[in-house]
Amino acid sequence: MKTITLAAALALGFAAHTAQAADKMNDLEIAHTAYTAGQIDIRYAHLALAVSENAEVRAFAETMIRDHTAVNVAAGDLITKLNVTPQDNDLSRTLVKGAADKRAELMSLSGKAFDCAYAQNELGYHQVVNQTVEGVFIPTVTVEPLKDLLSEALVTFKVHEGHAEQMVNGLKCG
């Protein structure tokens, strides 16, 4: 249960941080953080493809790369169209740091231990990101096309969350 506790702790820390920073974030910071969140999940997925030999885990990782890439390409297109530059911010930096730590932890694992840790992290990560996108980003953002994009992205991320939950249950990590 160690990994669940860690994921929960990370989730709580992130959520608390998010609540604090929420009303201070502008559209460009929100865009940066949403994009960063997708890139982070893509990196987790590449790690999973490098390490895991479980067919279900590998298929999930491939879907994460495919879907998050598609969402971020759309985000990039919108950013180009709006002719703006997303702004790095505390929340993006917190996410990047947390992900680097988690990747280091995952890289020390192999076999079923890796699969379980990856699956549980995917579940926790999507839960936190989805809560933030739905509860903070979408209500806060002022530019309509960005709000639309986040809303559509949320549909994708929620499917991922459900898929991650199935994967965790299927792996019987105990």
Partner 1 sequence: MRLTRRQVCFGAGGAIVGSALPASGSVPVVVEIRAFAFDPAEVTIRAGETVRWINHDFAPHTATDDEGNWDTEELEKGGQATIRFDTPGTYPYFCAYHPHMKGVVIVTA
Q: Where are the alpha helices (DSSP H) in the chain?
A: 2-22, 27-51, 55-82, 90-107, 111-132, 138-140, 144-171
CB of 36 to partner 1, least distance (A): 17
Q: Is 130 in the site for partner 1 (CB under 8 A)?
A: no
Taking CB under 8 A as the criterion, the residue among 53, 101, 148, 152 binding partner 1 is 152
C-alpha count within 13 angstroms, C-beta hemisphere, residue 142:
7
Would residue 83 be called left, alpha or beta, if left means φ above 0 and alpha means ψ between -120 and 50 degrees?
left
Q: How far apart, in whole angstroms, are the C-alpha atoms of residue 48 and residue 71? A: 20
Q: Is 63 in the site for partner 1 (CB under 8 A)?
A: yes
Q: Is 140 in the site for partner 1 (CB under 8 A)?
A: no
Taking CB under 8 A as the criterion, the residue among 27, 41, 67, 115 binding partner 1 is 67
Q: How far apart, in whole angstroms, are the C-alpha atoms of residue 123 and residue 64? A: 12
Taking CB under 8 A as the criterion, the residue among 141, 146, 153, 168 binding partner 1 is 153
CB atoms within 10 A of CB 3: 20
Q: How many residues bind partner 1 (CB under 8 A)?
A: 15
Q: How far apart, in whole angstroms, are the C-alpha atoms of residue 129 and residue 141? A: 16
| Stretch binding partner 1 (CB under 8 A), from 3-11, 87-95, 129-137, 147-155 | 147-155
Taking CB under 8 A as the criterion, the residue among 12, 20, 66, 145 binding partner 1 is 66
- Specify the amino acid at residue 68: H
Q: Is 104 in the site for partner 1 (CB under 8 A)?
A: no
- Contacting residues toward partner 1, per CB under 8 A: 62-63, 66-67, 70-71, 74, 77, 152-153, 155-156, 159, 162-163
